[in-house]
Amino acid sequence: MTAAQVSTHHPLANASGYELMLSKLAGDKRRLKQIQSLSRKIDAKREMLPDYAPWISGALSAQGGGQDEVLMTVMVWMIDTVWMIDTGNFTAALPIVRYAIKHKLILPDQYQRTLACLVVEEMADTAMNGRVLGEAIDVEGLQAIAEITQAEDMPDQVKAKLFKAIAYGLSEHNKPAAADYFRQALALHPKCGVIKDLERLEREMKNRAAEK
């Protein structure tokens, strides 16, 4: 809904652009609440996201830094709809994450985790779920998340998940880097489940070095 589409007799006739977007967001949230299926909710969010693209683009270009419930909710929806690393929404979400962390924005009240914790945990879990289904891990995207959230406070177990996912993504093509990420994950969370993977990588690297 734009200002041009609102009748002068409409309750939102004199609303600001942000108020119009909040009204649209409220309507979309009501629609989502009526959907019980998680997969259908995700499909609905994918349909809704393009409507918010102009607002997001404007907010990022302006770099105003003010708290923005529309932008923050849309960012979470982008992350929600990344399944098996949907690179379109994953790539589009990164500038929003970077902007939100730079300006210390907070998530809407219904989200219990901090912004950095939610982004890191959701993307790491998505990468690992995709791996189980045979999908390649987007190492560059996860490394970008690690860089953006490097200075942010979160549980060690959550950051360990991210390093673990990156390590698996690197394990076939860059074994030394993968081993380093496994070690970082272990240092943060000794029970993160990578000891055997690290030992296997170290054996493979040792054997390869002996063959030279």
Q: Give this prediction's pTM.
A: 0.84
Per-chain mean pLDDT for the chain: 87
Distance between CA 46 and CA 155 in Å, rounded?
30
| Per-domain residue ranges of the chain | 3-153, 155-212
Q: Grade residue 98 by pLDDT with cuts at 50, 70 and 90.
A: very high
Distance between CA atoms of residues 75 and 107, nearest Å: 10
pLDDT tens per residue across span 42-72: 889 989 999 999 999 999 999 999 999 999 9
pLDDT confidence band for 15 (50 / 70 / 90): low
Specify burial of residue 135 (Cβ count, 10 A radius: 0-12, 13-18, 19+): middle
Q: Which residues contact 13 (CB under 8 A, 6 or more apart)?
A: 6, 7
CB 87 within 8 A of CB 69: no
Q: How many percent of the chain have pLDDT more than 70?
A: 89
Question: What does the DSSP assignment read for 43-70?
Answer: HHHHHHHHHHHHHHHHHHHHT-----HH
Give the E-state strand segments of 9-148 in sequence order. none
Picking from 125, 122, 118, 170, the residue whose alpha carbon sits closest to that of residue 143 is 170
Q: Report CA Rg, the chain.
A: 21
CA dist list (Å): 144 to 55, 97, 98, 168: 24, 10, 9, 16
Please report the pLDDT score of residue 83 as a whole number: 55
Tokens read off for 163: 């390093």
